[in-house]
């Protein structure tokens, strides 16, 4: 560990002593979801299960709740629901990562944890930071206990990436398959086209460029946080594109996150199937998956959106923290559609339940879940008096709308064609809401900011019934 790392550790310790209790006491603190102890959080990083324990790292600007220099925060869990903060193991402390330890992934092998990430460097001078002035370094950090980083090694610099790219190349996702290592990296070409680069390696250190994935027609100028995995017999490429134009109800957020199926072997095939957004709500970006020991493919996303500070007011900033991750979601493919559902462990979390049959109006615990089935007609669920979740059968659209601007912190309305609506599951965790429709075929995620006495639900709809689950206090 170098002197700069030691200095960061000391500063972090001092800051956590200063913050202690402050953010924990905050009434908008989630109970189930990962949130930063202090400061700003964005992408999930390095998700894995190591020696039986789940590890989640995330982009953390510890000293700046409004965003700033990026470190990796770290937390662990035995059940994907109770998370314990474990510190800040990756700090910008090298010439190759001095402007941020950017996003990346974990690979577990022979009891070692390998963390691959992007070392971000911004050079001084007159630069646009797209074509000049930025270094995007691929770095490997090694940990022998999953808690502390022992070594960091620079693997690739911009000179190792194809010539037609800008300086924007980042977010390595690494995995092992058939005795070889593979890496995908998100990139922006000089023609302003988003793409994903595929590399392979025999030793995790020397990487060879194989080919790239792109759409038939350019789709946005930059693809961030790629992931590639096999799910129920389908090869899935997950990307977070920037610069995609809104198309009716689709692509309504500033940036998107979604998946494409790949036909054939990713080592050969470059052509991508249709892009489908993973979430129809206001707050979802940069998801990453990992394979749990029991074979489940689990995804966690950032329940937030970059570059929205002029529109969304995340009302916890003044309280010293901002943003959270989504609930861990189990992925599956049903009827050719990628489905996301809260991990099955969630069922064990709840202690109480109340049956609902027909219209319902009543108070809610700040952390609770509504699971409802319908007869396929119109449905309306109003949360906290100002977040309206509405299905309109005639048009087959599900809407998420804030009628109370303070509750939504500047968020307004999102909608998505969902066809028929058979069931919905609404997970409320104090200041976050995730809605899973039709067994997880469509999902809507958003932050919201109810006052203490505002937790309430009003439900209407033909033949609606189900259950409200919660745990007191
Ligand atoms: C996505 C992203 C990544 C980058 C990280 C920096 O939100 O821009 O591409 O590595 O955030 O925090």
Instruction: Output the CA 225–ligand 1 centroid distance in Å.
Output: 7
3-state secondary structure of 102: strand
Mean pLDDT of 1-27: 90
Checking 313-320 for CB contacts under 8 A at 24+ apart, the result is 313/409, 313/410, 314/409, 314/447, 315/28, 315/409, 315/449, 316/26, 316/28, 316/65, 316/431, 317/65, 317/66, 319/22, 319/23, 319/26, 319/28, 320/19, 320/22, 320/23, 320/26, 320/38, 320/39, 320/65
- The whole-chain average pLDDT of the chain stands at 97
CA-closest residue to ligand 1 atom 9: 224
The mean pLDDT of 12-34, rounded to a whole number, is 91
Distance 328 CA to ligand 1 centre (A): 19
Nearest CA to ligand 1 atom 6: 102
Whether 247 is catalytic: no
Q: How confident is the model at residue 180 (pLDDT cuts 50, 70, 90)?
A: very high
Pocket test of ligand 1: the residue of 36, 172, 225, 256 to mutate, having most ligand atoms within 8 Å of its CB, is 225
Predicted pLDDT of residue 232: 97
70: left (phi over 0), alpha (psi -120 to 50) or beta: beta
Question: Cα of 389 to ligand 1 centre, how many Å?
Answer: 30
The tens digit of pLDDT for each residue in 344-401 reads 999 999 999 999 999 999 999 999 999 999 999 999 999 999 999 999 999 999 999 9
CA of 291 to the centre of ligand 1 (A): 22
What is the model's pLDDT at position 18? Answer: 86
Catalytic residue among 24, 26, 43, 164: 43
CA 119 to centroid of ligand 1, rounded, Å: 11
Burial of residue 428 (CB within 10 Å: 0-12, 13-18, 19+) is: buried
| Token pair of 257 as six digits | 């996150």
Residue range 150-156: mean pLDDT, rounded: 98
261-270, 431-440, 447-456: range with lowest mean pLDDT: 261-270
Residues listed for the chain: 473
C-alpha distances (whole Å) from 21 to each of 16, 17, 26, 74, 158 are: 9, 9, 9, 19, 43
Pocket test for ligand 1, best of 102, 222, 257 (most atoms within 8 A of CB): 102
- In sequence order, the 6+-apart residues with CB closer than 8 A to the CB of 181 are 107, 174, 175, 200, 201, 202, 203, 204
Q: Is the pLDDT score of 473 beyond 70?
A: no
Ligand 1: atom nearest CA of 224 is 9
Joined together, the tokens standing for residue 417 give 């064609």
Residue with tokens 């049903």, as numbered in its chain: 334
Contact 236/259 with Cβ under 8 angstroms? yes
The confidence score (pLDDT) of residue 57 equals 98
For residues 186-195, average pLDDT: 98
Alpha carbon of 429 to ligand 1 centroid (Å): 25
Q: Give the residues surrounding ligand 1 with Cβ less than 6 Å away.
A: 42-43, 59, 70, 102-103, 118, 170-171, 224-225, 285-286, 306
Read off the pLDDT of residues 169-178 as tens digits, 9 standing for 90 and up. 999 999 999 9
Please state whether the predicted TM-score (pTM) of the whole model is above 0.75: yes
Mean pLDDT, rounded, for 48-59: 98
Q: CA-based diameter of the chain, in Å?
A: 65
Among 59, 117, 220, the mutation site with the greatest number of ligand 1 atoms within 8 A of its Cβ is: 59
Separation in Å, CA 135 to CA 66, 100, 186, 197: 24, 11, 14, 17
- Return the ligand 1 atom nearest residue 255 CA: 7
């Amino acid at each position: 560990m170098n002197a700069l790392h030691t200095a960061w550790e000391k500063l972090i310790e001092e800051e956590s002593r200063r913050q202690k209790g402050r953010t924990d006491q905050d009434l908008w603190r989630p109970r189930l979801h990962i949130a930063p102890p202090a400061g700003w959080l964005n992408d999930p990083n390095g998700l894995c299960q190591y020696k039986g324990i789940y590890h989640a790292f995330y982009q953390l600007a510890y000293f700046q709740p409004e965003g700033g220099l990026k470190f990796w925060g770290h937390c662990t869990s035995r059940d994907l629901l109770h998370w314990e903060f474990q510190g800040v193991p990756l700090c910008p402390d090298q010439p190759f990562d001095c402007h941020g330890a950017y996003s990346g992934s974990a690979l577990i092998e022979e009891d070692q944890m390998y963390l691959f990430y992007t070392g971000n460097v911004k050079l001084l001078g007159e630069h646009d930071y797209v074509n000049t002035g930025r270094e995007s370094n691929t770095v490997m950090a090694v940990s022998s206990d999953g808690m502390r980083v022992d070594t960091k090694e620079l693997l690739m610099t911009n000179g190792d990436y194809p010539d037609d790219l800008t300086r924007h190349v980042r977010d390595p996702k690494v995995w092992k398959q058939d005795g070889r290592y593979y890496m995908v990296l998100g990139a922006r070409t000089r023609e302003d086209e988003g793409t994903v680069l595929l590399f392979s390696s025999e030793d995790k250190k020397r990487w060879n460029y194989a080919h790239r994935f792109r759409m038939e027609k350019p789709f946005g100028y930059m693809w961030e946080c790629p992931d590639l995995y096999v799910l129920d017999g389908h090869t899935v490429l997950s990307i977070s594109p920037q610069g995609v134009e809104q198309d009716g109800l689709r692509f309504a957020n500033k940036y998107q996150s979604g998946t494409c199926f790949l036909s054939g072997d990713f080592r050969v095939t470059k052509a991508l199937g249709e892009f489908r957004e993973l979430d129809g709500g206001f707050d979802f970006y940069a998801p990453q998956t990992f394979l749990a020991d029991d074979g489940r493919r689990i995804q966690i996303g950032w329940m937030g959106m970059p570059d929205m500070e002029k529109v969304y007011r995340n009302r916890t900033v003044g309280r010293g923290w901002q943003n959270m991750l989504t609930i861990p979601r189990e992925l599956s493919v049903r009827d050719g559609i990628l489905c996301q559902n809260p991990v099955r462990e969630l069922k064990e979390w709840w202690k109480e339940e109340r049956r609902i049959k027909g219209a319902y109006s009543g108070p809610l615990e700040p952390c609770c879940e509504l699971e409802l089935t319908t007869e396929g007609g119109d449905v309306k669920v109003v949360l906290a008096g100002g977040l309206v979740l509405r299905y309109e059968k005639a048009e087959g659209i599900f809407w998420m709308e804030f009628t109370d601007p303070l509750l939504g912190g500047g968020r307004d309305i999102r909608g998505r064609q969902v066809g028929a609506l058979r069931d919905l599951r609404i997970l409320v965790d104090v200041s976050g809401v995730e809605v899973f429709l039709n067994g997880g075929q469509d999902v809507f995620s958003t932050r919201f900011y109810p006052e203490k006495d505002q937790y309430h639900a009003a439900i209407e709809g033909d033949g609606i019934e189900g259950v409200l689950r919660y745990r007191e206090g």
